[in-house]
Structure 1
Amino acid sequence: MVGELSARVQDSQDERLVEQYCHLSFLRWDQVRVRAETMGLRDAPEPRLGRFDGHLKGPARTEKAPYGSGMTQRLHSAMLRARLDSAALAEAVDVDAKTVNRWLSGRVPHRRTRAAVARVLNESEDLLWPQTRPDLTPGASATAEVQSAYAHRADIPNELWTSLLLGADEQIDIAGYAYPFVLELLPNAADILASKCRDGTRIRMAFADPDCPHVAERDALEQMSGTLPGRIRNALNMLGELTDTPGCDIGLHTTHLYNSVFRFDDQMIVTPYLIRARGYQHPALHLRKLSPHGIFTSFAEQFEQIWGSATHYPEGLSRELTA
């Protein structure tokens, strides 16, 4: 393999191949530089923060690889990319070289040290030591994304709702049946949302089509005596100038929902529906996005599914219905 790589290096200007050649043939960086210049490579590699005076120490070939060896290989590779050996990295983060070698054998540094190593190597902590962030692993059972849980939506402090609404500056996505309370959080809530759109915030609000069969079913389940369609029309009427504001899209869906979603940038309120309970009686979860594989992403993807089937308003319903 080393011979094959050496032949490729001779015909290449790719510095990464020189780095791989150094690792596989256990050359010192000064030797690699001479070799690179001999081969006529431009911009021969230089150590950045320390001199690489030998190959990185790792598990012997005859030893059984330690648990998490794939993870320690990430540190090994990052040190190669930074052209640092154990001694140079140890000096940069103020530890002993033997400590770095223990990391390369599988030991996980303390949190403060991990942050320092990540800065020196220009990598993220979760890439170097993914075992320290189980919530970033697909299928993980970590629940760190759940910031708080409420027995009822009505238990959520009004201050939390308003802080989420006022603090969002990238996107606001809402899907439910009516949710007029969102537009009643502040006396000028619709004007605030319109102003956010003009400043670049993307807002998407999906209401249920008041004439679709699912609305009648939900009305019966919540024992609302036929008032849900009127609540939806009332909420649409409260939108005011939002319906004509660039950056704000209003849609009508015909999806049978099992929960409402209120997303404000990387935070979200989700209310799972209970049978025969009104909207304010449903439980609620306050979520914060910490992982692309977490519960936040699951509900965000559900919103996209709902939004993809929604009809643009007011094309889907005449303005007269909201009068």
Structure 2
Amino acid sequence: MPPERPCHRRGCWAILQTAWRNHYNSATEEIDILAYSAHFLRAKTGVNVRILGDPESRVVAARGVEEGIGAEVTAARVKNALALHRPLLGVHGVEIRLHRTVLYNSLYRADDQILINTHAYGTPAANAPVMHLTHTNDEGPASTYLSSFNRIWTTAQPHNQ
């Protein structure tokens, strides 16, 4: 598991930015992101990147209300993430799709290393626990999460803006 940030708030599980960078810099083949927004993503040459999110989704609005920050704030975060990712759309191997799926977790994959940010009702994602899994075969928890990502990916709409 990546190192946790020292925190003085109850329930803080924030991961250091360097841990996120190391996670993605280690990827040599593929990166998958399943989240409502992911502001920290950077593309790397030769790595296939798949990102899922949709600011117009009612589930994004509901998540903002549940977290106590408001529907419009969460939608704005997703729009901001999509705007930041716009330059990636012209990069070979990068694809962004919009989904309207209720997420029970956010998934951040770098090859066989997967970070699962569990969602807890009423808790911002940054304050919820993150699990680190390694995909080693076709069975087990990592495969379950990757199958979930692929099911959402096949039904999501391409984002071409």
Common fold: TM-score over 0.5: yes
1:279 corresponds to 2:125? yes
1:167 corresponds to 2:26? yes
Higher RCO (C-alpha under 8 Å, 6+ residues apart)? 2
| Equivalent position SS for 1:161 | helix
1:239 to 85, 91, 106: 85
- Runs of 4+ deviating beyond 2 Å: 147-153, 156-160
1:297 corresponds to 2:112? no
Residues 45-194 of structure 1 correspond to what in structure 2 (within 5 A)?
Answer: 152-154=12-14, 156-180=15-39, 182-183=40-41, 189=42, 193=43
| Total equivalences in the alignment | 154
| Equivalent position SS for 1:257 | coil
Q: CA deviation at 1:247?
A: 0.7
Unaligned stretches of 5+ residues in structure 2? 5-10
Contact 2:2/2:19 (CA < 8 Å) preserved in 1?
A: no
Determine which structure has the larger strand proportion and give its number: 2
1:263 corresponds to 2:109? yes
Q: CA deviation at 1:229?
A: 0.7
Q: CA deviation at 1:217?
A: 1.2
Identity percentage of aligned residues: 28
Structure 1: distance between partners of 2:99 and 2:146 = 16
Deviations 1:225-272 (A, max 9, x none): 221111111011111420121210001001011100000000010011
Structure 2: distance between partners of 1:224 and 1:275 = 13
Contact 1:153/1:271 (CA < 8 Å) preserved in 2?
A: no
Structure 2: distance between partners of 1:237 and 1:161 = 20
Q: TM-score if structure 1 supplies the norm length?
A: 0.45
Contact 2:118/2:125 (CA < 8 Å) preserved in 1?
A: no
Structure 2: distance between partners of 1:221 and 1:152 = 17
Unaligned stretches of 5+ residues in structure 1? 1-146, 184-188
Partner of 1:213: 58
Structure 2 vs 1, CA of residues 236 and 148 (structure 1 numbering), >3 Å: closer, same or farther? closer
Structure 1: distance between partners of 2:27 and 2:109 = 9
Cα root mean square deviation, aligned: 1.8
Q: TM-score if structure 2 supplies the norm length?
A: 0.87
Structure 2: distance between partners of 1:210 and 1:160 = 27
Determine which structure has the larger helix proportion and give its number: 1
Q: Which letter maps to 2:153?
A: W
Contact 2:3/2:16 (CA < 8 Å) preserved in 1?
A: no
Deviations 1:249-303 (A, max 9, x none): 0010010111000000000100110011112011110111233211111111110
Structure 1: distance between partners of 2:2 and 2:87 = 34
Structure 1: distance between partners of 2:2 and 2:85 = 29
